[in-house]
Amino acid sequence: EAQVTQNPRYLITVTGKKLTVTCSQNMNHEYMSWYRQDPGLGLRQIYYSMNVEVTDKGDVPEGYKVSRKEKRNFPLILESPSPNQTSLYFCASSLLGTLRSNQPQHFGDGTRLSIL
Amino acid sequence: AQKITQTQPGMFVQEKEAVTLDCTYDTSDQSYGLFWYKQPSSGEMIFLIYQGSYDEQNATEGRYSLNFQKARKSANLVISASQLGDSAMYFCAMREGSNTGKLIFGQGTTLQVKP
């Protein structure tokens, strides 16, 4: 089954304790992206990657890191999490050639992070 | 700057009736795409329908249709024959004309279907 898998689905942690949210897709998609969702703000892009070893900042990259060492994986790293990073996070992927087409981005099921 | 505006934080509709969820957008790009996603209480994002800026006809997908008025920069979602399972948050999103693939989302509209 074609899917984007995020782990963990839920995490409660404390300020300053490094954490990684994993994202893996099995559709051979070149493009991957991370969003955060906050009430009243919709979803905002954190980082994106057009292919292996190619990453770039989105609208709200502060406090986050990403890496793209393999095509299928795009982990989101919070080196020193703070309470304002409490949010619902989504990973998404698509074929690069579809960026201008009608093919939607495929979203993972979300990761709910609470930073105390 | 590109922007999506959804002015209805919450909507109610009676089961089996039709409902329109509003979405307006702002962009200077000539080429762009508009998407609607559904987010049930379980949290996942479900793609519903797409409209391209050069599409001459309004998109339809089953009970979903998109009322696309390019001159007014609006892309309203119409759900016909509402079902209880349609209760969810709905997001309008625009894909920029650049190659970043970024989706710009509106604030969302919560729809509740009453039995």
The reported pLDDT for the residue numbered A101 is 65
Mean pLDDT of A85-92: 97
- Whether A58 sits inside 8 A of B102 (CB atoms) is yes
Mean pLDDT of A3-30: 96
Is the pLDDT at A10 greater than 60? The verdict is yes
The two three-digit tokens of residue A81, written as one number: 């999490």
As a whole number, the mean pLDDT across chain A is 92
Task: Give pLDDT tens digits for A58-73.
Answer: 999 999 999 999 999 9
User: Could you give the CA distance from residue A105 to residue B5 in angstroms, rounded to a whole number?
Assistant: 20
The reported pLDDT for the residue numbered B16 is 97
Strand partners, B39: B89
CA distance A27 to chain B (A): 17
The two three-digit tokens of residue B72, written as one number: 């007014």
CA distance B82 to chain A (A): 24
Q: Which of A34, A96, A107 to mutate to test the interface with B (most CBs of B within 10 A)?
A: A107
A85-89, A96-100, B5-9, B16-20: segment of lowest average pLDDT: A96-100
Confidence of residue A81 (pLDDT cuts 50, 70, 90): very high
The reported pLDDT for the residue numbered A93 is 92
The reported pLDDT for the residue numbered B30 is 84
- Whether A58 sits inside 8 A of B50 (CB atoms) is no
The reported pLDDT for the residue numbered B100 is 66
- Whether B101 sits inside 8 A of A94 (CB atoms) is yes
User: Could you give the CA distance from residue A107 to residue B87 in angstroms, rounded to a whole number?
Assistant: 20
The reported pLDDT for the residue numbered A9 is 95
The reported pLDDT for the residue numbered A73 is 98
The two three-digit tokens of residue B45, written as one number: 């994002």
The reported pLDDT for the residue numbered B9 is 92
Task: Give pLDDT tens digits for B84-102.
Answer: 999 999 999 998 766 667 7
Place of tokens 């998609």: A29
CA distance B72 to chain A (A): 21
Q: Which residues in chain B show pLDDT less than 70?
A: 97-100
Residues in chain B: 115
Tell whether A48 lies on the interface with B, counting CB pairs under 8 A: yes
Residue whose C-alpha is closest to residue A31's, from A107, A82, A114: A107
Residue whose C-alpha is closest to residue A21's, from A65, A54, A55: A65
